[in-house]
Amino acid sequence: MDKKDKELEAILYKSLRLNGYIVPVTEEDVDIFEENMDDIIVPDNLPDSITILSQGYSTSHIVTKGDNVYSRNMAYAARNGDGDNLPENIKEQMKRDKERAKKDI
Amino acid sequence: MQKELTEDLLLIIGMHEADPSTEVESKQAFDEFYFRFKNHVYKISFVLAKSLNNRNQVAQDLTCDTFINVWQKANRFNPAQCKDVDKGVKAWLSGIVKHTFLQYIDRAKKYSPESVALEKYHLFIEEDVPTDMSIDGIQSLEGRALATALADLKDKERDILITYFQFYDGTRFTVPPDIRKKLCQLHDIQDSTLRKIKDRAIIKLKKYISKNTELLPAQLTAQHG
């Protein structure tokens, strides 16, 4: 990527920031960001400050389970409505994938 | 603590590091600081977690984790660099949320499902409010023009472009692999296609800017043409 492309990126980055589309970086960005994010509802059941300190860092809730070959094959079968008509080798592969997925959990 | 200035609250929070006997007072200050800024931190977290399935839960986790980082590093904030301390704190917190998000993603791979003891984490938190000098001299699109330009993009292009810029560090895009993966799932595309869509969106915006504004001739043609 040449310098011109980099400058275009910089223009876009600054435009997105100053107009509140992305996370604010400077004091100048903060007001616009907050205006744009006014409709985000903050839940009223956030833990209190003492609980936060006593619990320590959160267990990550990013869901990665289920994103595997087994799931994709199942989804494929479901989409095509032919779960019972799959070739034997695919069924065997799905069975192995299912076992592997269980071990990963 | 309700009447304390924000910079004083951070000073009081930071005292517990040097003198553990002040922990009770530090926690009181922390409680007030949390009350003042939790909404801002949650909203930043919510924006960053945009592509993830359980967005609300992740945003809540990030909010909590960010304040733990504040508890540990409160004395890193330098109010002398701020025109408005409360806005400066919000910008500083935004940077911490971003770092916390990257740690959170990393932890999803390494430590799930156990929780993690605080002392195991060596945190990188920006020392000061970022000055972002690198783009100070660069012009930008005003709100309506940007909104119009973005409206010309397909939903998929706009979503991917904004997510990429969420993780732009001034020189390159550093979108975490897990976020890329979620984007791919969301839009039913391959990882290799993501970057192409981002590049295509940038080209479309470039055409819009060239046609409708004076930004590109000044920035790109006159200086480097």
Of B71, B94, B224, the CB nearest to A24: B94
Same domain, B188 and B124: no
Residue B136 domain flag: no
Answer yes or no: do A58 and B166 touch at CB < 8 A: no
Predicted local distance difference test score (pLDDT) of residue A28 = 84
Q: Is the peptide bond before B113 cis (omega within 30 degrees of 0)?
A: yes
Residue B137 domain flag: no
Answer yes or no: do B216 and A67 touch at CB < 8 A: no
Tens of pLDDT along B136-191? 667 778 878 888 889 889 989 999 999 999 888 888 898 888 888 888 988 889 99
Tens of pLDDT along B188-204? 899 999 999 999 999 99
Same domain, B97 and B189: no
Residue A80 domain flag: yes
Which of A23, A36, A105 should we substitute to test contact with B (largest number of B Cβ atoms within 10 Å)? A23
Residue B61 · residue A43 · CB < 8 Å:
no
Residue B1 domain flag: no
- Which residues in chain A are closer than 8 Å to B44, comparing Cβ atoms? 23-24
Give the CATH number of the domain where residue B166 resides. Answer: 1.10.10
Helix boundaries (H) for chain B: 6-18, 23-48, 55-73, 85-110, 143-151, 155-166, 177-187, 191-212, 215-216, 223-224
Predicted local distance difference test score (pLDDT) of residue B218 = 55
Same domain, B148 and B125: no
Residue B1 · residue B18 · CB < 8 Å:
no
Of A7, A21, A27, the CB nearest to B88: A27
Task: Please state, rounded to an integer, the average pLDDT across all residues of chain B.
Answer: 82
Instruction: Give the minimum alpha-carbon distance from B178 to chain A in angstroms, rounded to a whole number.
Output: 9
Same domain, B28 and B63: yes
Q: What is the DSSP secondary structure assignment for residue B175, as one 8-state letter?
A: -
Residue A32 · residue B159 · CB < 8 Å:
no
Tens of pLDDT along A36-91? 888 899 999 999 999 999 998 887 777 654 443 444 444 455 545 545 556 666 56
Same domain, B22 and B116: yes
Residue B72 domain flag: yes
On the question of pLDDT at B60 being above 80, the answer is: yes
Higher pLDDT pick, B48 / B112: B48
Same domain, B166 and B78: no
What is the rounded CA–CA span in Å between residue B118 and residue A74? 40
Instruction: Give the minimum alpha-carbon distance from B38 to chain A in angstroms, rounded to a whole number.
Output: 9
On the question of pLDDT at B16 being above 90, the answer is: yes
- A64 contact partners, CB below 8 Å, separation of at least 6: B108, B109, B178
Predicted local distance difference test score (pLDDT) of residue B186 = 84
Residue A64 domain flag: no
What's the mean pLDDT in B31-59? 91
On the question of pLDDT at B117 being above 90, the answer is: no
Q: Say if A105 is an interface residue toward chain B (CB within 8 Å).
A: no
Q: Say if B146 is an interface residue toward chain A (CB within 8 Å).
A: yes
Structural domains counted in chain B:
2
Q: For helices A27-36 and A3-18, give the axis angle rounded to 10 degrees.
A: 60
Domain containing B112: what range?
A: 6-131
Residue A23 domain flag: yes
Residue B59 domain flag: yes
Residue A63 domain flag: no
Residue B129 · residue B173 · CB < 8 Å:
no
Structural domains counted in chain A:
2
Specify the residue for token string 């910079």.
Answer: B7
DSSP string, chain A: --HHHHHHHHHHHHHHHHTTSS---SHHHHHHHHHHTTTPPPPTTPPPHHHHHHH-BPPP----TT-SHHHHHHHHHHHHT-GGG--HHHHHHHHHHHHHHHHH-
Domain containing A18: what range?
A: 3-42
ipTM of the complex: 0.71
Alpha-carbon distance values, B63 to A105, B43, B94, B184 (Å)? 26, 9, 11, 26
